[in-house]
A and B are shown apart, each in its own frame.
Chain A
Amino acid sequence: MRRILAIETSCDDTCAAVLEGPRARSNVVSSQARLHARYGGIVPEVASRRHLELINPVIDAALEGGGTDLDRVDAVAVTVKPGLIGALLVGVSTAKSLAAATGKPLIPVDHLHGHVAAAFLEPEPLAPPFLALIVSGGHTLLAEVRAHGSFAVAGQTLDDAAGEALDKAARLLGLGFPGGPAIQREAAAGNPESFPMPVAMSRGGGLDFSFSGLKTALVYAVGDLGPERTLERRADLAASFQEAVVGQLVAKLRRALDRGGWEAVALGGGVAANALLRERATALCAERGVRLKLVPPELCTDNAAMIGSAARHAEPIAYPGYLALDAAAR
């Protein structure tokens, strides 16, 4: 059975995992949430510096947790795009060094393919064909997955990602970071129908997403209310905003299913943890008689197990062909 060491440093977390087939023997994520809370978000320079400090201990922990060592893995996989260049380079350089030092092949992976491939992992692996809705702070993507090794983009955001829209709304409402959980908590006590928010739906039946009009609607609502009334109505504003974000995600998923032919859906990415989104997606898939795979939370946020999963179906590059490999911002 092929054993893969996977490394992921495209954003705010330093991650490493050991994969054996569709099973993650270890999946280490050195969350930097505490560090980032200070700045209300991800700080790239801190991220690069922290990635550098954390990468070796995180890889050691993944190998140890996976009950193996570098000599006994068959290949090294790494995220090469998209992401912050400085952050990606830490993972790419490390992966190249480890692979070259042991003469092993290297498998470059696209981070988004990783999010899709998270659905291939145990427990209850999902096999293509399926439709994947990937929703996170950096991405909002509807993907048609017809084979393990590739995916086609059916729809994507034209401006802000859904998670980013939630972050910005949380900031406008004076709630914490990350915005998704903060908005969800506040929304629990609010009425989602109190502030009608626009749900962007293109007339052509397209599957692309747009959240910037929604953000502007909230800016105006908050401006009209003023600081005191905004604070009083915060739960209602959060509930209305969350309703509009989830409403658009589910409406586009419905449209994609209307095109027919799909028997399974995978829901992944950090925002897939949102309870309202899970509830609506579950209801929609039940109504259509379609299987819904809710990717487990530890495989939804950025992690290296999903990178290893994608790598199982990607082309390895033999030593020394990968020495010139570079990171790409997109």
Chain B
Amino acid sequence: MAAETESERIRSGGPERTEAAAAALAAELRPGDVVLLRGGLGTGKTTFVRGAARALGVTEPVTSPTFTIGRRYEGDVAISHLDLHRLAGSGLAAEDPGMLDDYLTADAVAFVEWPEAAAAALVAPAATVTLAHAGGDAREITIERHGP
């Protein structure tokens, strides 16, 4: 059965708008859902995750997981925030698809930056968010909601 994908485009004027767009998406998410985030350095991937985490009840600082690869937060639901940039090109995720199991759990909503590195472990995302620079603080955000 082919999944239906709905695509929404948002022009964000700054971090507040990006966080608000994320909050709207977060309201639709359920535990076990995985959201993929694409976009270059400084396009606002972590800002987007922060907005979603806030909407899901996380009050502590939501910071970049680049160095540690993964962070977990407790909000109204558990939230995993992964950044796989350091895995890119290593082939490790394909070698061992279970390596992200501590973070991709049934009780957590997971946000994955630079997901290409572990494509095999991320086959059925609930949504894909693509962010791009659009001059200054502006960003072009595309949210694709993938059907069940």
Residues of chain A at the chain B interface (Cβ within 8 Å): 11, 38-46, 48, 82-86, 137-138, 156-161, 163-164, 167-168, 171-172, 208, 212, 215-216, 218-220, 223, 329-330
Residues of A contacting B8 in the complex (Cβ-Cβ under 8 angstroms): none
Closest residue of chain B to A328 (Cβ to Cβ) is B72
- The answer, yes or no, to whether B64 is at the interface (CB within 8 Å) is yes
- Which residue of A is nearest B98, CB measured? A45
Question: A85's contact among B61, B70, B93, B96, by CB below 8 Å, is which?
Answer: B70
Chain A binder among B22-30, B40-48, B122-130: B40-48
Contact with A along B69-109 (1 / 0, CB 8 A): 11111000000000001111110110110010011000000
- Per-residue CB contact flags for chain B residues 114-144 toward chain A (1 = under 8 Å, else 0) read 0000000000000000000100000000000
Q: Chain B contacts of A42 at CB under 8 A?
A: 67-69, 86
Report B-chain residues with C-beta under 8 Å of the C-beta of A158: 61, 63
Residue among B64, B73, B92, B103 facing the most chain A CB atoms (10 A cut-off): B64
- Report the Cα distance A167→B72, complex, angstroms: 23
Query: For A168, A215, A330, which residue has the most chain B Cβ atoms within 10 angstroms?
Result: A330
Number of residues from B at the complex interface, CB < 8 A: 30
| B-chain residues with CB within 8 Å of residue A44 when the two chains form the complex | 69-70, 99
Known contacts A43-B90, A45-B96, A160 near B70 by CB under 8 Å: no
Minimum CB–CB distance from A181 to chain B (whole Å) comes to 16
With the chains together, A172 CA to B85 CA distance in Å?
13
A41 nearest in chain B by CB position? B86
**Which chain B residues border A11 with CB–CB below 8 Å?**
67-68
- List chain A residues, Cβ under 8 A from B87: 39, 43, 45
Q: Given that A41-B86, A43-B87 are known contacts, is A215 also in contact with B42, CB under 8 Å in the complex?
A: yes
